[in-house]
Amino acid sequence: MFKNVVGLIVEYNPFHNGHLHHIQEIDRLFEDNIKIAVMSGDYVQRGEPSLINKFEKTKIALSQGVDIVIELPAFYSTQSAEIFAKSSVNLLNKLSCNYIVFGSESNDLDKLKRIATISLTKEFELSLRGFLAEGFSYPTAFSKALFDEKLGSNDILALEYLRAIKTINSKIEAYCIKREKTGYYDDEKDNFASATYIRKILLDYNKKKEDKLNKIKNLVPKFSYKILEENFGVFSCLRDFYDLIKYNIIKNHLELKDIQDLEIGLENRLYKYSLENLKFEDFFNEVLTKRITISRLQRILLHSLFGLTENVTERVKNKVPFVKILGFSARGQKYLNYLKKSENYSERKILTSNRNLKEILNEEDIELFNFNELCSQIYCIKSNYINIGYPIIKKD
């Protein structure tokens, strides 16, 4: 059908020139390819709502050459790097990808593979748990367990992708692309900038709309700029959800102990400081401790809002319940039709609409599907958009 089926794991929060470079490099490396992106939906791995909603991100992805966009559900997209990566690789595996291509600061795939192999040993696991018990954050503990090996943000995720490929015994082959110009938190350089830097500009309340848009105009492709301009004024950030988070913490205080990632005693801090603080920033700084990274606390707050418990995580972390297609191009549609002819098609549980769910999913899968839909509806409350449904079809 297609010579090369290439997977990407992305957030596009927002889509910028570095992401376009990623896609262009895939086209350079792989002839006759189809590109399948697993994309965080309305919430991202740092524990924040996406700047713009998943449908707008899907439009941008398809406009820039992605052929199929799969939603990474909220019960995966807001998890630790390990669960985020494993579920993403599982989804790409479901669609029979031959390759996965990711960005890397080191661009040393052999080195990353060696570290990934080491990190799967019992000795490493014991060392990692020891450093975590001492109060180190997961990234720091991971580094210390590797004898203080320093890794960039993209390399840490790359390791998790490689570990996932080994863990699920996938035949997917990994390729890495050198992260160009800027790092994860760096400012602008030669029309390249990190998504973190672009979000910082767009969410700065002290700058005028025109100044913000002018600042990012050369940092994102034209269509991405158009979508960001159209959505200006309704960008989402975690502080916007504080009233919902606060209400949920107060109402469900006794159930918070079961929330994913929440350590013993933190539920009392959440309850105490939600009562005492009117402003999100004050609440957040009061709750934050040296044992918890900013990203982890943000994830905990979203998990409390969703009701994402340890029990739900146990149900989904080793086996994806469905593959939800957000959009596709004409080439993507051809590939999906090709997959329909495969003998194990029913096992893939591919969804392109809300119709016939009971024919594709079992009761537990439907429950998880509805969980993710609820998360999206919560996002809609604060982001001023209506969940219009799917898929988005790009007309070539």
Flag whether 305 is marked binding.
no
Residue 253 marked in a binding site: no
The answer to whether the annotation marks 348 as part of a ligand binding site is no
Spatial contact of 219 and 181, defined as CB atoms under 8 Å apart:
no
DSSP readout, 7-28? EEEE--TT--HHHHHHHHHHHH
**Alpha-carbon span 286 to 302, nearest angstrom:** 17
3-state secondary structure of 37: strand
**Does 15 count as an annotated binding residue?**
yes
| Peptide bond just before 139 cis, omega within 30 deg | no
If you search the block for the tokens 């020139």, which residue do you land on? 17
DSSP label of 238: G
Cβ neighbourhood burial of 74 (10 Å; 0-12, 13-18, 19+) = buried
22 annotated to bind ligand: yes
Residue 18 marked as a ligand binder: yes
- 21 assigned to a ligand binding site: yes
d(CA 335, CA 34): 8
Is 13 within any annotated ligand binding site?
Answer: yes
> Could you count the other beta carbons within 10 Å of the beta carbon of residue 142?
24
Note the Cα 264 to chain centre separation in Å: 26
9 is known to lie in a ligand binding site: yes
Q: Is 151 annotated as a binding residue?
A: no
12 is in an annotated binding site: yes
Check whether 20 is labelled as a binding-site residue. yes
389 labelled ligand-binding:
no
Q: Does the annotation list 11 as a binding residue?
A: yes
Instruction: Check whether 154 is labelled as a binding-site residue.
Output: yes
Three-class secondary structure assignment of 26-39: HHHHCCCEEEEEEE
Q: Which residue has the tokens 């966009």?
A: 69
Q: Which residues are annotated binding-site positions for ATP? A: 9-22, 103, 154, 179
* Binding residue positions: 9-22, 103, 154, 179
